[in-house]
Amino acid sequence: MSAASMSGDIVTLEVADHVALVTLNRPPVNALNRAMRDAIIEVFDAVSERDDIRVAVLTGAGKAFCAGADLKDRPDPGKTGAFHAHNRVTRETGNAIRECAKPVIAAVNGAALGAGLGLMAACDIYLAAEDAVFGMPEIDVGLAGGGAMLRTIFGRSAMRMMMYTGWRLTGAELYRRGIIEKATTREDLLPEAMRYAACIADKSPLAINYAKTSANMVDLMPQRDAYRFEQNFTVALSRTEDAKEARTAFVEKRKPVFKGR
């Protein structure tokens, strides 16, 4: 990939053709520790601000996407304030992805467990390898939680089964249930995710930014308020140069040229 890139030891960012490829890179299982959480926040904050990025793809290096939090990095119960600090950065890791100004596609190449499944849940669109495994195994290590993450992608029964038992599902099963957009072989996963990203990157960056913000907000609203909110967004977008260019290009049957204004 010819790209303007920024590299860290544990999270890398490569950019080409308005698509950012963000790779978790903490072998062997890309377990989340404080350094990786901080790096994820930093990278997605940069993705939000960079004009050369319109969409991001999040994946994992090696055989795992992210097999959860690093248990060796758990807070020291004897240290005052340790759990508050740990929980805050954990929440903000997901929020950095969820609130990213650009759409984020999860390309889940391997295990996505616990906090790793939470990273996927924070993304906008889900693709996965057919043999990738998904679970919330907190119960297996004497912990509990993850319901808020699971609720965004699973139904009530599956959510509770996964929380109460550590039950795991494959990418093929998630696709069968209509939870993910596509399941592929591991070899085809990243190229397919990049094709999805290219489709989004081809649209007006302003329109995509409005759509991402709108999608996040309407998730939290009653339908009546949500539609009013979207109508107001449509009015604001309609007044931009990009919206005028999109309409003109559609009528003239040509590819639009967007300027981000």
In angstroms, the CA 180 to CA 133 distance is 13
Q: pLDDT digit string (tens) for 157-188?
A: 998 898 888 889 999 999 999 999 999 999 99
Mean pLDDT of the 115-121 span: 93
Mean pLDDT of the 54-70 span: 93
Q: Which two tokens stand for residue 211?
A: 């759509």
Q: What is the pLDDT of residue 7?
A: 54
Q: pLDDT digit string (tens) for 29-44?
A: 999 999 999 999 999 9
**What percent of the chain has pLDDT above 70?**
96
Amino acid at 97: I
Q: Is 217 exposed, middle or buried (0-12, 13-18, 19+ CB in 10 A)?
A: middle
- Give the pairing type, strands 112-113 and 133-135: parallel
Q: What is the pLDDT of residue 130?
A: 98
Q: Is 246 helix (H, G, I), strand (E, B) or coil?
A: helix
**What percent of the chain has pLDDT above 90?**
52
How many CB atoms are closer than 10 A to CB 61? Answer: 18
Higher pLDDT, 1 or 80: 80
Q: What is the pLDDT of residue 46?
A: 96
In angstroms, the CA 227 to CA 107 distance is 30
Q: pLDDT digit string (tens) for 72-115?
A: 777 777 788 777 777 777 788 999 999 999 999 999 999 999 99
The dihedrals phi and psi of 60, each to the nearest 5 degrees, come to -120, 145
Q: Which two tokens stand for residue 5?
A: 């890139």
Q: Which two tokens stand for residue 159?
A: 């959510």
